[in-house]
Amino acid sequence: MRYVFFFVALFLTASLAMARTGQTSLYPVSKGVTSDRHVTIPVTEGAVLYDQTGAAVIGSGYTSQDFEAVVDIYDSQGADDFVVPAGETWNINQVAALGLYYNGNGLMPSANVYFYDDAAGYPGNLLASENVVPTDDTTGNIICDITEVSLGEGTYWVSVQAVMDFQTGGQWGWTPNDALTNSGAAWQNPGDGFVTGCTTWGRITSCIFAEEDDLAFILSGNTGGGCEFALDLPKMKYRPGEAITFDISLHHRAETNVTVPIYAWVENADRSVITSTVSEPLEINQGDFLTLGMTLSLPIDLPPGGYRVRASVGEMVQGVADAQQRFKVISPSPFNQASTLLEGVPEATVLLDNYPNPFNPSTTISYGLSQDTWVNVRIHNSLGEEVATLVNEHQTAGFKTIVWNGTDNFGTSVSSGIYLYRMTTADHVETKRLLLLK
């Protein structure tokens, strides 16, 4: 009977308010067709620090929205807590929330993201807030990229609030998660337009008689212990046997100086480690800005598909990293193992991958000519300056190979580093990279 009176009073109050604006009624809860179908939100920034979506109830949503001024008594917020483990610092740069649109089709123009400390099991002092334009899958699942928020060990609260006019977009509901973690979600409606009495933070299960205890969200970023940490992988497609060359950049903001190695590795979709490397221990002092070049060699028999490069400071933990980037492995080149020369003539002129790469002291460069033509193959340094001319002659159609032994036009050995090899014909110009390691 308590629930009947609550929703009758709620309906009458909302209907009277909406009658004055020509709108339909607002409700704090949307209950659609629920199921155990879980939605996966792709993480685009850093590693997953906290995931509370495993028991998401798809088809339900609890309002958390900043409405237009005429109905601002219905402005409300949901929030849920999470714990940063002892000894860790979380640098959060992305918040994803499962949700849905009801009483309209959205889409929200922006969203407010708030972080609070904990006050006896409820949101306490506001620590950070930002209004962002979210990535929206059009159904209400959103990803909010935010300015990095660094939090040390302890309990905190995150709130995601849609900023959307009811008259144009309807309502956005934050999808619940049917598994109690920590204190359980909180909710507030300062203007009390929903007649709940929760003008300050209260338990969501009491304020709007929510059936589930928590809200579904994901926090992403890194655990750099006070480091801003980034991975720059300029190339997105590789072939088996190729080397992945990338830069690690970090800014050490913590007060303590540390001596730690940098780990980097490749994982497949199942998070199995394919290959890995580790730097020498680095002395990192407060305020240091460092850039470190790293290389990972892909196995020659690696199957095509999607993979990730992951990197972290101080330790290597499978499936978790301070920075990561996706890349794709495509079908092997005929000259991945350049010891075998193809017969025949290619349909189109092509410059193939050198092998091995990285190399020391020599590497084989292979290419195919679709017709008889003049061919020029040169080595350039990273500034574009010519280092060596390997081929400069007229050649017949077919597949060719040339070996570069790491010397310039004067026979002098060149230093370690990234070089470019460029093939030029009458109708084709193509450039690729190779890495000399000594």
Per-residue confidence band for 149, with pLDDT thresholds at 50, 70 and 90: confident
The H-assigned helical ranges of 48-136 are: none
Mean pLDDT value of segment 335-362: 72
Where among 221, 250, 267 does a domain terminate?
A: 221
Determine the average pLDDT of the residues in 415-436. Answer: 93
Q: Kindly tell me the burial class for residue 346, based on how many C-beta atoms sit within 10 Å of its own C-beta (0-12, 13-18, 19 or more).
A: middle
Return the exposure string of 400-438: e unless at least 16 CB atoms fall within 10 Å of the residue's CB, then b.
bebebebeeeeeeebeeeebbbbbbbeebeeebbbbbee
For 369, residues 6+ apart whose C-beta sits below 8 A from its C-beta are 345, 346, 349, 375, 395, 396, 397, 398, 399, 400, 425
Asked if residue 252 belongs to a domain, the reply is: yes
Shared domain check, 98 and 217: yes
- Asked whether residue 152 falls in the same domain as residue 30, the answer is yes
Whether residue 371 has pLDDT greater than 90: yes
Statement to judge: residues 41 and 135 lie in one domain: yes
Residue 343 lies in a domain: no
Q: Sorting pLDDT into bands at 50, 70 and 90, what band is 210?
A: confident
CATH code: domain of residue 265: 2.60.40.2550
pLDDT bracket for residue 224 (50, 70, 90): low
Residues 305, 404: one domain? no
Q: What is the pLDDT of residue 46?
A: 54
pLDDT surpassing 70 at residue 360: yes
With a pLDDT cut of 70, the percent of the chain lying above it is 83
Last residue of a domain, one of 329, 359, 389: 329
Better-predicted residue by pLDDT, 158 or 135: 158
28 confidence band (pLDDT: 50, 70, 90): low
Q: Which domain holds residue 322?
A: 226-329
Flag whether pLDDT at 388 surpasses 60: yes
Amino acid at 331: S
pTM of the entire predicted model: 0.51
| DSSP code, position 17 | H
Which residue among 221, 256, 287 closes a domain?
A: 221
Both 189 and 314 in a single domain?
Answer: no
Which one has a higher pLDDT value, 284 or 9? Answer: 284
Q: How many domains does the chain have?
A: 3
Is 356 inside a domain boundary?
yes
Are residues 398 and 321 part of one domain? no
pLDDT above 60: residue 15: no
**Residue 313 counted as domain residue:** yes
- Is it the case that residue 247 has pLDDT exceeding 90? no
Residue 343, pLDDT score: 61
For 149, how many CA atoms within 13 A lie in the half-sphere containing its CB? 24
Same domain as 367, residue 285: no
- The number of beta carbons lying within 10 Å of the beta carbon of residue 171 is 26
Average pLDDT of the chain, as a whole number: 82
> Looking at the structure, do residues 214 and 231 belong to the same domain, yes or no?
no
Going by their DSSP bridges, the two strands 202-203 and 90-97 should be labelled as unpaired
Do 207 and 267 belong together in one domain?
no
Q: Is residue 300 predicted with pLDDT exceeding 80?
A: no
Identify the pLDDT of residue 338. Answer: 40
Q: What share of the chain is helix, strand, coil (3-state, %, to 5)?
A: 5, 50, 40
Domain identity same for 128 and 73: yes
Structure confidence at residue 255 (pLDDT): 57
Domain annotation covers residue 425: yes
In this predicted structure, what is the pLDDT of residue 27?
61
Q: Same structural domain for residues 161 and 29?
A: yes
Do 19 and 164 share a structural domain? Answer: yes
Is position 335 within any domain? no
